[in-house]
Amino acid sequence: MNIKIALAGNPNCGKTTLYNAITGSTEYVGNRPGVTVEEKEAKLKWNKEVIIMDLPGIYSLSPYTSEEVISREYIIEKTPDVILNVVDGSNIERNLYLTTQLIETGIPVVIGLNMMDIVNKSGDVIDISKLEKTLDCPVIPISALKGTGLKEVCEKAVKMAESKKTSNIKIFSNKIENYISQTKELIKDIDFTISKKWFAVKIFENDEEIIKTLNLNNNKKSILDNIISSAEKDFDDDTESIITNERYTFIEKTVASAVKKGSKEKLSFSDKIDKIVTNRIAALPIFAVVMFIVYYISVTSIGSDLTDWANDGVFGDGWHLPFTTEKYNESVENFENAQLKIDTFKSAALENGIDTEAFEEQMEAEEPDISVINEFIEKTKYIKAEPIDNNAFTTAVKEKDFPKINIFVAAAEANEIPADVFKEEIESENPNQEIINSFIADTKDIVSEEVDNFAFVEALEIEEPNPEEFGIWVPGIPVLAESALDSINASEWVKSLVLDGIIGGVGAVLGFVPQILILFFLLAILEDCGYMARIAFILDRIFRKFGLSGKSFIPVIVGTGCGVPGIMASRTIENNNDRRLTIMTTTFIPCGAKLPIIALIAGALFKNAGWVAPSAYFLGIFAIIFSGIVLKRLQAFKGDPAPFVMELPAYHFPAVKGLFIHMWDKGKAFIKKAGTIIFLACAVIWFLQSFNLNLEMVENAEDSMLASLGKIIAPLFKPLGFGNWEASVATVTGLVAKENVVGTFGVLYGVEDVAENGVEYWAMLREAFTPVTAYAFLAFNLLCAPCFAAIGAIRREMASFKWTVFAIIYQTLLAYVAALLINLWGTAIWLNGSFAAPIILTIIIIGFILFIFINSSKKTVPITA
Amino acid sequence: MKTLKDVKSGDNVIVEKISCTGSLKRRIMDMGITKGTNIYVRKLAPLGDPIELTVRGYELSLRKSDAENIIVK
């Protein structure tokens, strides 16, 4: 027979460390998401018949927080055979408060008295046997961190479960016990899974949820009301408070008899740290530094390296083992540079009337004739390829001086300025002057390198690097999948589905996994060592003004790297409303994948003006603050008032094993999501992009269903100024991953191999957009529904379909209104449009906001003392 | 009538009454602030709010607006 042990205790009492130590992380038998927390079950390490159930950390079994509700529902419905109550010995008074409630359930309780090392250090002495006697249940000193006493406490728990021995202590005074007996009479005919007394106390406390489930008839209800009101008269307090007072009175007595306080009043280790960390002057700078370190490690340095590896290596062409791909890439670049020099020099030689044909022949030969090459070197001794700058190039274009043009174009290409479109034009009979001019403008800082005979000889000596010399080349998943599909002769559409649709889409998402793991590792450190609570303490005042919590800052900071971990970082916010609001607003801040969109618009329409990128961040911050202020006024976000009553746990070093488990747990949740929602979404987008309405596969996305869809939804964007179907389609594909917006334009404009900032089609973009509509497009894409990965994360963290839909609709609506305002005002101010429309719209919006404010202040009931 | 909000940091006070109701009261009491409890006001947050207390041997933080409901002497 299986024995079920429920693990219960206050937050920060070391319960999770104990759970990890006695189960072993690989043995999950269940992991189902609750409202804010997950209930976890695992088998005991030493005895597979025993199942350990990890309840959320709670202070009480009252019905006010979701954690408390989950815990008590679990105890009532699943009736564990025994409760293992972890008690923080260094904070025994408050910890025993929960114990008094657990004992009342009538389920055998075993106390694991944790953190005894801290107790000993502080000089306090806890008399275990006295504690056992007053509480009438076994108390076993343990150290979850060091692993001592764990087996013992589990064995004791199993023994207690078998003997079913419950504690028979009297917690309340005679007077109260009398009232509770009267209450008990009312429910004597009802069968309960746990003790009747627990229910009697709860309904005596006027616990509405429990009263509702009991279905008392009217007669009994009025008797209950009578009992409660006479008790309240008796004690001049409400029954809930009477019970709480009595519990603490009992605990005070217990502690007074069993705990001898040490005389030492020295500053503890934790106090010393706290003096610095929450110091009036130093607190904010320290916080900034800590955030910078977290951001730097997880987003910029290690995190971005790992993401590059995952995206370009594992889900790209492949990578080197050991990690020498970077070195290899450097060598390739070096080689390409040398080739450029050789070509430049050859052109110069040609210009000087030296024939290069024989030399070129030898260069391409398997076994080149050294003497021919040497002869060429000798002949070109005094040749020098002069540097060509943009001016010289412009002249060369006018004179159609092709050797010079070619040298300069090659230099431009080496600087990653795409030149295919230009080359095509310049060679055509009637070149499009606009494209030529735009290329000249784009290359204004390019100067081709000076190459003399010496540099030429040097370049000749650089050999093409061989990838195999840089370690073992591990092919990427797409490469492997392609060869696997080829080997089974898969049809084109299957290949496209697997490679472009699934691996391309899901891979883009999974590429973030390493970054997410690092981030969660760092956040776990902050959480475990006790700093997270201080962040809330330090920043609460600022964020409360915007209707957010002090902890909302972390998701936003993390969100500048990637919205997915940002949204997931919101987990540390306990209050449901604050957390929902934070989840909804985190993706307003531009994430890494939105930067290419900013670069595209800034480059194509604003000549790379410096204000565009910062303005995108300000827009995000403004959207967050605006949403905080306005949404908080909505009825949906009111619910129960959110008291900021927070424990500031003592600082301590985190348990390393726990950190890894924590990190993996969250990473796993993300991977699972990528395997389901995101997988499906990518397949759908691929289907729309690859087939036309007759379900025939199309070569070009321009003929696809997605394009037809784009044409249908384009009118929706007309008021925003970018009603062309290309922009609509780009916005839709941005849902897979925001950087797709740039690539999609490329596909739709028929440009292959688009650079990250889409420079190839800037000229075409300038025809489709005005600066105003381009900025509206940018604003819309930054603020609207995030990518599928982030939507998946929202769905997971909200744990509610309704809230997810609300979040997405809200974000898209806000984006729409913002883009509309930008378009109308921009057109009015800079493009001589009418002022009537923007003014009317602004008045409507202000009116709407005022309506929300007035409406909400009416409903607020002032708290009367 | 003195509330916890008015107590200077570094002072010790004793709780007389909790004047709010509902979940806020319950939460405050669950955390160990009951009638007769000794509270030591440790400090203010760098921006002046919330406050940090020592109650029953541990550290607790409260917003001033919530502390206003705790009547002390």
The complex scores an ipTM of: 0.96
Q: What is the DSSP letter of A143?
A: B
Compute φ and ψ for A632, nearest 5 degrees: -55, -20
- For the cut 60, the answer to whether the pLDDT of residue A515 exceeds it is yes
Question: Minimal Cα distance from A279: which residue of B?
Answer: B46
Judging contacts by C-beta atoms under 8 Å, the chain A residues touching residue B46 are: 278-281, 283-284, 538
A677 pLDDT band, cuts 50/70/90, is low
Residue B58 is nearest to which of A537, A643, A647, comparing CB atoms?
A647
Residues 628-667 of A with CB under 8 A from B: 640-641, 643-650
Domain co-membership, A84 together with A191: no
Q: Is residue B59 within 8 Å of A648, Cβ to Cβ?
A: yes
- Who wins on pLDDT, A820 or A334? A820
Contact B29 A241 (CB under 8 A): yes
Q: Is A736 part of any domain?
A: yes
In A, minimum Cα distance to B55 occurs at: A94
A612 and A754 in a single domain? The answer is: yes
Residue A545 lies in a domain: yes
Domains and CATH numbers, chain B: 2-72 (2.30.30.90)
Domain boundary among A391, A426, A460: A460
Only one residue has tokens 């000249």, namely: A440
Residue with more model confidence, A763 or A6: A6
The pLDDT assigned to A646 comes to 83
Q: Looking only at Cα atoms, what is the longest distance across chain B? A: 30
3-state helix, strand, coil split of chain B in percent (to 5) is: 20, 40, 40
Interface contact flag, B56 A646, Cβ < 8 Å: no
Averaging pLDDT over each range in A129-138, A368-377, A646-655, which range is the top one?
A129-138
Q: Are residues A208 and A65 in the same domain?
A: no
pLDDT of residue A638: 66
CA distance B16 to A859: 31
> CATH code at A202?
1.10.287.1770
- Mean of all residue pLDDT scores within chain A: 83
* Residue A383 pLDDT: 79
B27 to chain A: closest CA residue = A645
Q: What's the full length of chain A, in residues?
A: 865
A809, amino acid identity: I
Least confident of A86-100, A194-208, A724-738, A776-790: A724-738
Residue A90 belongs to domain spanning: 3-163
Task: Please indicate whether, in this complex, the C-beta atoms of B19 and A865 are within 8 angstroms of each other.
Answer: yes
Contact between A47 and A811 (Cβ < 8 Å): no
Same domain assignment for residues A232 and A380: no
pTM across the whole model: 0.74
Q: How far apart are CA A387 and CA A306, in angstroms?
A: 39
Q: Do A865 and B23 touch (CB under 8 A)?
A: no
What's the pLDDT at A255? 93
Nearest to A762 by CA among A608, A644, A657, A650: A608
For residue A373, the model assigns a pLDDT of 78
Question: Per-residue pLDDT averaged across A350-371, rounded?
Answer: 78
Helix, strand, coil share of chain A (percent; to 5): 65, 5, 30
In a domain, A279, yes or no: no
Give the tens place of pLDDT for each residue, A583-630: 999 999 988 778 888 888 888 888 878 888 889 989 999 999 899 888
DSSP string, A768-798: H--HHHHHHHHHHHHHSS--HHHHHHHHHHH
* DSSP assignment string, A503-530: IHHHHHHHTTHHHHHHHHHHHHHHHHHT
**Claim to verify: residue A152 and residue A185 sit in the same structural domain:** no
Residue A326: inside a domain: no
d(CA A573, CA A532): 10
pLDDT value at position A33?
A: 35
B5 to chain A, closest Cα gap in Å: 14
Domain shared by A159 and A178, yes or no:
no
Q: How far is CA B18 from CA A406, B28, B50, in A?
A: 84, 9, 18
pLDDT-derived band at A201 (thresholds 50, 70, 90) equals very high
Domain end among A460, A488, A504 = A460
DSSP code of A865? -
pLDDT band at A678 (very low <50, low <70, confident <90, very high): low
Residue in chain A nearest B69 by alpha carbon: A865
Mean pLDDT confidence for A564-580: 79
Does A91 contact B at CB distance below 8 Å? yes
Which letter does DSSP use for residue A760 in this model?
G
Do strands B70-72 and B58-62 pair parallel, antiparallel, or not at all (unpaired)? unpaired
Q: Is residue A19 situated within a structural domain?
A: yes
Largest interatomic CA distance in chain A: 116
pLDDT, one tens digit per residue, over A620-653 is 999 998 998 888 888 777 655 566 788 888 888 8
What are the two backbone dihedrals, phi and then psi, of residue A547, each rounded to the nearest 5 degrees? 75, 15
Last residue within a domain, chosen from A445, A460, A475: A460
Q: Please tell me the predicted confidence (pLDDT) of residue A865.
A: 32
Chain B contact probe: residue of A644, A652, A860, A864 with most B CBs at under 10 A: A644
Higher-confidence position of A376 and A98 = A98
How far away is chain A from the Cα of B29, in angstroms, using its nearest Cα? 7
Rounded Cα distance between A421 and A620, Å, is 36
Tokens describing residue A247: 């519990």
What's the confidence (pLDDT) of residue A814?
Answer: 95
Counting the structural domains of chain A, the total is 4
Angle at B62 between CA B61 and CA B68, to 5 degrees: 150
Q: Note the Cα A195 to chain centre separation in Å.
A: 43
How big is the A-B interface in CB pairs under 8 Å?
Answer: 117
Does A755 fall in a domain?
Answer: yes
For the cut 90, the answer to whether the pLDDT of residue A527 exceeds it is no
Q: Return the amino acid letter for A41.
A: E
For the cut 70, the answer to whether the pLDDT of residue A860 exceeds it is no
Q: How crowded is residue A500: how many other Cβ atoms within 10 Å of its Cβ?
A: 16
pLDDT, one tens digit per residue, over A59-99 is 999 877 767 888 888 888 888 999 999 999 988 999 999 99
Chain B residues touching A248 at Cβ < 8 A: 32, 34, 37
The answer to whether A269 contacts chain B (CB < 8 Å) is no
Confidence of residue A681 (pLDDT cuts 50, 70, 90): confident
Contact B50 A537 (CB under 8 A): yes
B20 touches chain A (CB under 8 A): yes
Please answer whether residues A801 and A754 qualify as being in contact, where contact means their C-beta atoms are separated by less than 8 angstroms.
no
Q: Tell me: do A134 and A248 sit in the same domain.
A: no
| One domain, residues A404 and A545 | no
Angle at A63 between CA A59 and CA A65, to 5 degrees: 60
Shared domain for A574 and A622, answered yes or no, is yes
pLDDT top residue among A270 and A178: A178
Kindly state whether residues A653 and A774 are assigned to the same domain: yes
Note the pLDDT of residue A173.
Answer: 93
Listed in sequence order, the residues at least 6 apart from B29 whose beta carbon sits closer than 8 Å to its beta carbon are A240, A241, A244, A245, B18
Give the chain A residue whose CA is nearest to the CA of B45.
Answer: A538
Average pLDDT (A716-739) is 86
Is A207 a domain residue?
yes
Mutation for testing the A interface, residue in B4, B18, B42, B56 having most A CBs under 10 Å: B56
Tokens standing for residue A264? 């030492």
Give the pLDDT of residue A565: 78
CA separation for the pair A357, A771 (Å, rounded):
50
Structural domain includes residue A282: no
Question: Span A107-130, mean pLDDT?
Answer: 90
Chain A nearest C-alpha distance from B47 (Å): 7
Q: Say yes or no: A141 and A200 in one domain.
A: no
Higher model confidence: residue A160 or residue A144? A160
CA dist A563 to A548, A567, A786, Å? 18, 6, 8
Q: Please give the sequence-ordered ranges of beta strands (E in DSSP) within A224-332, or none if there are none.
A: 259-260, 318-321
- Cβ neighbour number for residue A763 with a 10 Å cutoff: 19
- Nearest chain B CA: its distance from A644 CA (Å): 6
pLDDT band at A38 (very low <50, low <70, confident <90, very high): low
CB contact under 8 A, A281 and B46: yes
Distance in Å, alpha carbon of B15 to nearest chain A alpha carbon: 12
Half-sphere exposure of A230 (CA within 13 A, CB side): 12
Band the pLDDT of A302: cuts 50, 70, 90.
confident
Q: What is the CATH number of the domain that holds A114?
A: 3.40.50.300
CA dihedral for A185, A189, A194, A199, sign (positive or negative): negative
Nearest to B23 among A59, A64, A544 (CB): A64
pLDDT digit string, tens, across residues B33-59:
999 999 999 989 988 889 999 999 899
B14, B53, B58: best mutation site toward chain A, by most A Cβ within 10 Å? Answer: B58
Answer yes or no: are the C-beta atoms of A52 and A44 closer than 8 Å: yes
**Exposure letters A21-45 (e unless 16+ CB within 10 A, then b):** bbbebeeeeeeeebebbbbbbbbbb
pLDDT digits (tens, 9 = 90+) for A480-489: 888 888 888 8
A20 Cα to chain B: minimum distance (Å): 25
pLDDT of residue A32: 36
Q: Please give the Cα distance from A751 to A759 (Å, whole number).
A: 10
Enumerate residues 524 to 543 of chain A having a beta carbon within 8 A of any beta carbon in chain B.
533, 537-542
Task: Report yes or no: A391 and A444 within 8 Å, Cβ to Cβ.
Answer: no
Q: Residue A745 has what pLDDT?
A: 81
Residue with the bigger pLDDT between A252 and A356: it is: A252
Distance from CA of A298 to the nearest CA of B (A): 28
What average pLDDT score do residues A663-669 get? Answer: 74
In chain B, residues 52-71 whose CB comes closer than 8 Å to chain A: 52, 55-63, 66, 69
Check: CB of residue B67 under 8 Å from CB of residue B3: yes
> What is the pLDDT, as a whole number, of residue A108?
94
In this structure, the answer to whether residues A158 and A213 fall within a common structural domain is no
Distance from the B28 Cα atom to the nearest Cα atom in chain A, whole angstroms: 7
Q: What is the pLDDT, as a whole number, of residue B55?
A: 93
Taking the CA of residue B14 as centre, how many other CA atoms within 13 Å lie in the half-sphere pointing to its CB?
4
| DSSP structure class, residue A138 | -
